[in-house]
Chain A
Amino acid sequence: MFKRLEAWLDSRTGHRALLHMALQERVPGGARWRYVFGSAVTVLILVQAVTGIALELYYSPSTTDAWASVNYIETQVWMGSLLRGVHHWGASAIVVVVALHLLQTAWAGAFRAPRELNWLAGFVLFQLILGLALTGYLLPWDQKGYWATQVATSIAGTLPVIGPKLQTFLQGGTSYGNLTLTRFHTLHVVLLPAALFAVIGIHVALFRKHGVTPPDLPAEELDRKAEPFFPRQLLYDTVVSLVGVGVIFMLAWRLGAPLEAPADPSSQYLARPEWYFLPLFQLLKYFEGGAELVGTVILPGLAMGFLAALPFLHTFLSRRSPRVHRMLAGVLTLGLVGVGGLGALAVQSDRSDSAVVAMAARAHEEAVEARRLASLGGVPASGPLDLYRNDPLVWGHRVIVTQCQKCHLACDTVPYTGSPCLEGYASRAWISRFLRNPRAPHFFGNTKIDDMEPYTGPQESADALTEFIYSQGGRPDVTAALAKKGEELFESEGCGACHTLDEVGSGLAPDLKGWASREWTYAFIRAPGHSRFFGELNEMEAFDHLRLPEEELQAVTAWLHAQASQPLKFP
Chain B
Amino acid sequence: MSEPSSSPPTRRGFLGALTVLLGGAIAALASVPVLGSLFSPLRTSPQKDAADAPVPVGSVSEFTVGVPRRVEIIRSVTDAWSRSEATTVGAAWVTRQADGTFIALSTICPHLGCGVNLDKQRNKFACPCHTSAFSLAGSREEGPAPRGMDPLKVEVRGDQVLIHYQRFKQGTPEREVV
Contact = CB atoms under 8 A, between A and B. Distances in A.
Interface of A is mostly: helix
B26 A241 contact: yes
A60 B22 CA distance: 35
B82 interface: yes
Given A69-B80, A235-B18, A381-B83, A83 B33 contact: yes
Given A57-B38, A79-B33, A232 B83 contact: no
Contacts of B6: 30, 227, 232
Given A83-B37, A245-B26, A249-B29, A378 B81 contact: yes
Contacts of B16: 230-231
Interface residues of B, number: 36
B26 A43 contact: yes
A381 B84 contact: yes
Interface in B7-35: 7, 11-12, 15-16, 18-19, 22-23, 25-26, 29-30, 32-34
A227 B12 CA distance: 12
B48 interface: no
B30 to A, nearest CB: 5
B34 A83 contact: yes
Contacts of A379: 81-83
Contact of B36 (A82, A226, A228): A82
Nearest to A84: B33
B139 to A, nearest CB: 39
A246 interface: yes
Contact of A380 (B15, B25, B33, B83): B83
Contact of B30 (A223, A230, A234, A245): A245
A65 interface: yes
A79 B2 contact: no
Contacts of B25: 242
A227 B34 contact: no
A238 B23 contact: yes
Nearest to A230: B16
Interface in A70-88: 71-73, 76-80, 82-83, 86
Task: Give the residue among B32, B36, B40, B78 with the most A Cβ atoms within 10 A.
Answer: B40
A186 B22 CA distance: 34
A460 B143 CA distance: 88
Interface in B36-82: 36-40, 43-44, 78, 80-82
A79 B1 contact: no
A47 B34 CA distance: 10
B99 interface: no
B30 A51 contact: yes
Interface of B is mostly: helix
A239 B36 CA distance: 25
Interface residues of A, number: 52
B88 to A, nearest CB: 13
A245 B22 CA distance: 11
B100 interface: no
Nearest to B4: A228
B33 A232 contact: no
B19 A234 contact: yes
Given A57-B38, A249-B29, A239 B22 contact: yes
Top 7 A-B pairs ranked by shortest CB distance? A79-B36, A378-B83, A231-B15, A83-B33, A72-B81, A68-B81, A78-B40
23 contacts: A24-B3, A50-B34, A51-B30, A53-B34, A54-B34, A54-B37, A71-B81, A77-B40, A78-B39, A86-B30, A227-B6, A228-B4, A231-B15, A231-B16, A235-B18, A238-B26, A241-B26, A242-B23, A242-B26, A378-B83, A379-B81, A381-B83, A381-B84
Interface of A: 24, 26, 30, 43, 46-47, 50-51, 53-55, 57-58, 60, 64-65, 68-69, 71-73, 76-80, 82-83, 86, 223-224, 226-228, 230-232, 234-235, 238-239, 241-242, 245-246, 249, 252, 377-381
Given A228-B4, A249-B29, A378-B83, 7 more contacts: A54-B34, A79-B37, A83-B34, A86-B30, A230-B19, A232-B6, A380-B85
